[in-house]
Amino acid sequence: MAFTFTSQCNVPPASASSLTADGEGMHSYFPYDLVRGLNNLGTYVNNHWHYVQASAVSTGQREGRAYASYTASATEMFLLQVPAFIPLWAVRMAWTAGARCVAVSQSNIRVYLSRSPYAGVATDPFDSTLIPASLSRTVSVSITTGQYSLADDSSTGITPIDDSATFLISPGTGSNTKREGYVIVTATGGTNATVGVEDFSFWFLPS
């Protein structure tokens, strides 16, 4: 019978350090327990829910934010993409994105579900002809420098999830057991803008 972990951990502090100091006591407890919490959500709630957040490891990311800058009038720019394994029962892909304008203004977030990954140059304007087998949805935002807005497409989402934007795969146990696709996030802003997202979530629904 399946069960949920309920045990608690105790990470003692080193020497006389504070319980909440970096790496000590209760502070260390949170990342330890978070793994179990996420695994429980994945197992018992919806194991096809995905969360993405940038990390500051390249020039295309800043302060936990995926962003893109351009010098031109309103231009669609690539922000990020992730591969997705999709259950056969999925009919719709819902999503939300935390839009954060870095500079000037930002007018929308657009999400594509594609059969193939985007192979364009990230610093160039986004070229949707490179992912001809795809579906997309756009959510408008109206924010300027430093402002945040949640782009919410949880009520409509991308549909239908079929061969038009994904493909069937066989991982070795039977055939046609899942679909695979690529989720691509872009944004558009005003002239000479820097657009971005702080986080992005997507999940699949049966209807």
Question: What's the whole-number mean pLDDT along residues 171-196?
Answer: 85
Question: What's the whole-number mean pLDDT along residues 50-58?
Answer: 67
- The predicted pLDDT at position 87 comes to 85
Tokens of 29: 């407890």
- The predicted pLDDT at position 1 comes to 46
- The predicted pLDDT at position 182 comes to 95
The class level of CATH for 48-205 reads mainly beta
Question: What's the whole-number mean pLDDT along residues 89-105?
Answer: 94
Residue owning tokens 């390249």: 58
Q: What mean pLDDT is reported for the chain?
A: 81
Question: What's the whole-number mean pLDDT along residues 147-158?
Answer: 95
Query: Do 81 and 185 form a contact (C-beta atoms < 8 A)?
Result: yes
The per-residue pLDDT for range 104-143, each reduced to its tens digit, is 999 999 999 999 999 999 899 999 999 999 999 999 999 9
CA 86 to chain centre: 15
Evaluate if residue 19 carries a pLDDT over 90: no
Q: Is the peptide bond before 87 cis (omega within 30 degrees of 0)?
A: no
Instruction: Kindly report the backbone phi and psi dihedral angles of residue 21, in degrees, each rounded to the nearest multiple of 5, phi listed first.
Output: -65, 160
Q: pLDDT category, 158, cuts 50, 70, 90? A: very high
**Cα 46–Cα 50–Cα 55 angle in degrees, nearest 5:** 150
Q: Where are the domains of the chain?
A: 1-45, 48-205
